[in-house]
């Protein structure tokens, strides 16, 4: 179990108009999303917080390491999820802390790529025998599949419908 805190709070009374720098490490347990990534502790947060009238502006970076499988060849890879432009603007509450945990969590999640590749030129797996084509070639015969558009048969359907309408 992680020994890092799972909340990111800033004490309002510690923030001045000149601002303060805050560095913190958080538990990956706050990233409870269903993703193909295995996050590795800790989440590193480095921000500058400053008071602006009756609000607090917070800007900085967030980063966390993750393990995942390449979307093409399924080899394990390490990935650094990094958000260099984290920003939050929060009205000063009546209590003594502002909690930015949810904003940090959301920024990390929206920074995740749709799919991860071990390299841009990853050849993936053979769709017949499963050989990793980055490591060796296989003897399988590959046929080119011509992808049809969902609209390719639409003309035929429209002609059929028009023919039926003319018959009635």
Q: What is the pLDDT of residues 2-12, one digit of tens each?
A: 588 889 999 88
8 Å CB contact between 24 and 45? yes
pLDDT for 1: 46
The answer to whether 78 and 65 have CB atoms below 8 angstroms apart is yes
Average pLDDT of span 88-102: 86
Instruction: Give yes or no for a contact between 37 and 70, defined as CB atoms under 8 angstroms apart.
Output: no
The yes-or-no verdict on residue 131 having pLDDT over 50 is yes
């Amino acid at each position: 179990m992680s020994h890092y805190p799972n909340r990111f709070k800033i004490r309002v009374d510690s923030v001045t108009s000149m601002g303060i720098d805050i560095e913190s490490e958080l538990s990956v347990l706050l990233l409870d999303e269903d993703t193909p990534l295995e996050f590795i502790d800790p989440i590193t947060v480095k921000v500058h917080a400053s008071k602006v009238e009756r609000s607090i502006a917070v800007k900085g970076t967030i980063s966390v390491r993750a393990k995942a499988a390449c979307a093409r060849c399924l080899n394990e890879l390490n990935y650094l999820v990094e958000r260099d432009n984290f920003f939050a603007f929060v009205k000063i509450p009546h209590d003594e802390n502002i909690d930015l945990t949810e904003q940090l969590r959301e920024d990390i999640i929206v920074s995740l790529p749709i799919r991860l590749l071990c390299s841009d030129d990853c050849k993936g797996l053979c769709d017949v025998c499963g050989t990793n084509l980055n490591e060796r070639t296989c003897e399988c015969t590959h046929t080119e599949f011509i992808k049809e558009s969902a609209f390719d048969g639409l003309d035929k359907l429209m002609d059929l419908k028009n023919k039926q309408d003319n018959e009635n």
